[in-house]
Amino acid sequence: MQFDILTIFPELFASPFEEGILRRAIAGGHIRVNLHNIRDYATDRHRMTDDRPFGGGEGMVMKPEPLTAALEKVRCDGEPGRVILLSPRGEPYRQRTAERFAGQARLILVCGRYEGVDERVARCCIDEEVSLGDYILTGGELGAMVIIDSVTRLLPGVLGSEDSAKNDTFSRGLLKYPQYTRPRVFMGMDIPEVLLSGDHAAIEQYRFVESVRETLRRRPELLCGKTFSAPERKLLQQVGLLAEVTAAAERHAQ
């Protein structure tokens, strides 16, 4: 998969791609990451990529000419790619968005800056806008890193275990169950006995119940519209969680 990043600060991306899973994914040929400096497409001697907004107001706006020129050049090189603008007004980024992006051959990530980009660029050159959440960052670079990291780990062969991504938090709409490792007893607390039983079916059931319990306690809104299989509902009934889960789902559906 190929990622193209359009930014005025390409140096910000040096470290993330030299560590951990992303470094291994690049070395293994699972992903390619190309950085494009928008300033290289500015035609004035100061390489300006921003200007004051028409109508007045605070801050600056990314100019349309350099950004459009950069996009045209990048889109012409290689196969078509989906153009994503990192913007506070975009759709909230979710795990299902990452899964959808993982099905693309190429993503072109435009890192917004200042008060945003000229609206004509947003309307004519951008396929969709994405936001990490309801807060403001100094630019879209961190958002681009998040997208690349979250999408890359979904690609076949990137993680050590094919089940790792499938069992992640949010992958099935629930928070992940609590995890434990050695030592068995720490600060006077032992791990749940079922995890030592060797009974894989019992462990799977325990983890499912704890996943639902964690979701109910921390993020009950995630249960809205969530469907469970008949065996799962029966198990939740047995441990006394089904009524709580149903009530939470109904409450957040209102």
pLDDT digits (tens, 9 = 90+) for 10-24: 999 999 999 999 999
Which of 12, 150, 171, 22 is closest to 93 using CA atoms?
150
Q: Which of 75, 153, 219, 233 is catalytic?
A: 153
Question: Quick check: is 161 in a domain?
Answer: no
Q: Is 168 a catalytic residue?
A: yes
Host domain of residue 75: 2-152
Residue 55 lies in a domain: yes
Looking at the fold, whether 43 and 135 belong to one and the same domain comes out as yes
* Residues 147 and 210 occupy one common structural domain: no
Q: How far apart are CA 41 and CA 37, in angstroms?
A: 8
Whether 88 is a known active-site residue: answer yes
What value does the mean pLDDT take over residues 125-153?
A: 97
What is the rounded average pLDDT of the residues 194-223? 96
60 part of a folded domain:
yes
What pLDDT was estimated at residue 162?
65
Out of 101, 129, 152, a domain closes at 152
Q: For residue 78, what pLDDT is reported?
A: 85
- Cβ atoms of 35 and 111 closer than 8 Å: no
Same domain? For 139 and 193 the reply is no
| Residue finishing a domain among 152, 170, 193 | 152
Kindly state whether residue 157 falls inside one of the protein's structural domains.
Answer: no
Is the same domain home to 147 and 193? no
The reply to whether 126 and 19 lie within a common domain is: yes
Residue 210 pLDDT exceeds 80? yes
163, part of any domain = no
The answer to whether residues 147 and 192 belong to one domain is: no
- Look at residue 239 and tell me if it is in a domain: yes
Which of 51, 99, 149, 168 is the catalytic position? 168
The catalytic residue among 99, 115, 214, 244 is 115
Structural domains of the chain, count: 2
Residue 57 in tokens: 């107001």
Whether 167 is in a domain gets the answer no
> Rounded to whole angstroms, what are the CA distances from 42 to 37, 54, 113, 183, 203?
10, 20, 16, 58, 59
For residue 134, give both structure tokens. 């309801």
For residues 43-62, average pLDDT: 94
45 part of a folded domain = yes
Catalytic residue among 82, 88, 149, 244: 88
Model pLDDT, residue 216: 97
